């Protein structure tokens, strides 16, 4: 905990991510509507701990793990449809909201890993996995909200123009 390098910060971030995933599992244990999310999180949680040790120790995330996660992303994208083609507020059912927190934790872990990569070599697959994991948590959150009949709330940025806003500005 008193190390000067960024590695321990990354390990703390991925520990937090693993813990957040674990906090969702009891809520889904008896939720038939999201049985697939429950089963996928049971696979994802130990992989989060494997992310944790894969810099200091032996690389424990494989190409097969990445391919599996990619297939799960494709599954949820197909299930949620067009709603994810817009920015959405991170909210919803209790499970959906917690999955948004996991998404944020995955992004923080990615950023911490970037800091580590400035100090030592980091396997590229860890970046690929964490980036995809953040996206999987997002589509899982939207999917969980959908299954619990919670409507998504689009986010319209006042900071960045959308295609529609740009067309109106041109007129």
Determine the Cα–Cα distance for residues 144 and 150; give it in Å rounded to an integer.
Answer: 8
Residue written as tokens 């948590």?
137
Task: Quote the CA–CA distance of 102 and 50 in Å, as a whole number.
Answer: 16
Task: Kindly give the confidence (pLDDT) of every residue in the chain, 171 residues in length, as a single tens digit, with 9 standing for 90 and above.
Answer: 566 788 999 999 999 999 999 999 999 999 998 999 999 999 999 999 999 999 999 999 999 999 999 999 999 999 999 877 877 768 889 999 999 999 999 999 999 999 999 999 999 999 999 999 999 999 999 999 999 998 876 777 788 776 655 444 544
SS3 content of the chain, % helix, strand, coil (to 5): 70, 0, 25
The per-residue pLDDT for range 14-57, each reduced to its tens digit, is: 999 999 999 999 999 999 989 999 999 999 999 999 999 999 99
| pLDDT at residue 170, as a whole number | 46
Q: Which letter does DSSP use for residue 87 in this model?
A: -
**Whole-angstrom distance, CA of residue 71 vs CA of residue 77:** 10
Q: Does domain 7-170 have CATH number 3.40.47.10?
A: no
Backbone φ/ψ region at 86: left (φ over 0), alpha (ψ -120 to 50), beta: beta
For residue 30, give Cα distances in angstroms to 19, 40, 56, 59.
20, 14, 37, 34
Annotated domain spans of the chain? 7-170
Contact assessment for residue 99 and residue 24, using Cβ atoms and an 8 Å cutoff = yes
**Structural contact between residues 142 and 96, judged by C-beta atoms closer than 8 angstroms:** yes
Residue 62 DSSP symbol: -
pTM of the predicted model, to two decimals? 0.90
Distance between CA atoms of residues 162 and 157, nearest Å? 8
Which two structure tokens, joined as six digits, stand for 13? 């971030």
3-state class (DSSP) for residue 49 = helix
């Amino acid at each position: 905990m008193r190390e000067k390098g960024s590695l321990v910060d990354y390990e703390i971030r991925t520990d937090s991510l693993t813990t957040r995933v674990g906090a969702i599992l009891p809520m889904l244990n008896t939720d038939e509507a999201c049985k697939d999310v429950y089963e996928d999180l049971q696979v994802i949680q130990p992989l989060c701990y494997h992310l944790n040790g894969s810099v200091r120790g032996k690389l424990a995330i494989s190409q097969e793990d990445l391919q599996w996660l990619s297939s799960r992303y494709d599954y949820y994208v197909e299930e949620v449809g067009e709603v994810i083609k817009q920015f959405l507020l991170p909210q919803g059912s209790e499970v959906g909201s917690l999955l948004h927190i996991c998404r944020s934790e995955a992004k923080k872990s990615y950023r911490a890993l970037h800091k580590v990569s400035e100090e030592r070599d980091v396997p590229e697959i860890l970046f690929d996995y964490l980036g995809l994991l953040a996206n999987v948590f997002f589509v899982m959150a939207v999917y969980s909200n959908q299954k619990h009949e919670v409507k998504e709330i689009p986010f319209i940025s006042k900071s960045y123009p959308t295609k529609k806003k740009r067309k109106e500005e041109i007129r």
